[in-house]
Structure 1
């Protein structure tokens, strides 16, 4: 859990947020004893907060073990935010069509706390493909999504975002030197720094204020048509398909591309 840097203190609220953040990081439900140990707080500090969070539907206890886990309430609340809801509603259909057409996976991500966070994914319908998990956090300085997001920020904001992500200064300078080229093209294409054979195709999704709301990325996986014995959609065809899907998403949320 991250420590608050605010000059204002609300101990009860902080305890509640600590619990929610802890549970969000767990693959399985955890006991009150484990929660006390991980948070470094006493049972008395957590008891009342656990009861309130459960009564409000944010957490629940497993009947047999009595261990705690998150419910889907926070996910439901986040999806009530109108701009994001419109984008997610449109993305479901567009991303499914895109993957069906190209036989490639794709994902949608947004900038949050100086990282790109994946908010929607569509796996390839083919038996092989590359995919990324929902809610994954991606380095803004080392991803197609991050480059497409940064390129359309004001220059001072680009550096501020990279510094907030604790990117080393030499890397910051390297990234910033590429931004104008990406902005001029209107999208990013580049080899994945993590996975050999994968080329990221990333297109920004602009809102009505001509700001980047999200980024649509296809981690294009190079397939061998000779060994697969069927038609493989080319890289350029796939890029154009991503461009069309991005345009459709911009239109769906009433967005406008920069002049």
Structure 2
């Protein structure tokens, strides 16, 4: 009886919805949620709208399915010290590290910055290492530029409108026009390049990991010194990076068009 006094039915239903969606990465429709929970359509509507407004779930406008967002992934990674994404990526990250002789990083978007979830340190005697959880700018590096390029256009434009494109040096992209031009190149090539646009002497090559909806759920990239990742290696590293990203993406249901 003591427990029922503090029982919050709608909170329990919201948690049930989150649990169900965590078990169905392809998403669930409103009808499927109603049938599974055996509650009214109005209740499901109010709960899902609240979760959407808070950024914990989103809805695919084509399939009309609800699915968990990156915000939930960040919470899970913070609570567990690891994540489903990391588990499905780490072996391929280490393999890529050995192939290209560079450090490999994995990150997701949180707000207007990227957050590093995992790293596979490697490369030349001069190695790059960061603390997990480190945030980074989107406009001045390969992973962020790749994410902007492969997000749905409306989402990319909305995200760009919130970015403070700080100028770090003469190579930094600081305008939307210049970023849009770069994004078009990235889409055609498949990966982005960072020619020391924020950190002197640091080159990066990055792309995205996609889910079954062809949606970019994470960023993956190789980082090394300009003496190690030289311009004549960009194409080779880019090809290996794309192959790695595709392998990981397939674990999330991605299929090539």
TM-score (norm 1): 0.59
1:60-209 matches, within 5 Å, as: 75-77=78-80, 79=82, 85=84, 87-124=85-122, 126-167=124-165, 171-209=175-213
Q: Which residue of 2 aligns with 1:242?
A: 241
CA contact (8 A) 1:107 1:118 kept: yes
Tell me by how many angstroms 1:107 deviates.
0.3
- Alignment CA distance shift 1:170-1:221 (3 Å): closer
Q: Which runs of 5+ in 2 are unaligned?
A: 1-74, 167-172
Q: Count the aligned residue pairs.
A: 175
- Alignment CA distance shift 1:166-1:221 (3 Å): closer
Rounded to whole Å, the distance in 2 between the matches of 1:222 and 1:132 is 18
CA contact (8 A) 1:159 1:176 kept: no
Tell me by how many angstroms 1:134 deviates.
1.3
Q: Which runs of 5+ in 1 are unaligned?
A: 1-71, 225-232
SS in 2 for 1:256: coil
Q: Which residue of 2 aligns with 1:219?
A: 223
TM-superposition CA deviations, 1:23-69 (whole Å, max 9, x none): xxxxxxxxxxxxxxxxxxxxxxxxxxxxxxxxxxxxxxxxxxxxxxx
SS in 2 for 1:178: helix
Runs of 4+ in 1 over 4 A off after TM superposition: none
Tell me by how many angstroms 1:77 deviates.
4.5
Rounded to whole Å, the distance in 1 between the matches of 2:76 and 2:208 is 29
Larger radius of gyration: 1
- Alignment CA distance shift 1:193-1:251 (3 Å): same
After TM superposition, the structure 1 stretch with the greater mean CA deviation from structure 2, 190-199 or 212-221, is: 190-199
TM-superposition CA deviations, 1:167-206 (whole Å, max 9, x none): 4795223212321221122211231212233321112111
Over the residues paired in the alignment, what is the CA RMSD in angstroms? 2.9
- Alignment CA distance shift 1:192-1:133 (3 Å): farther
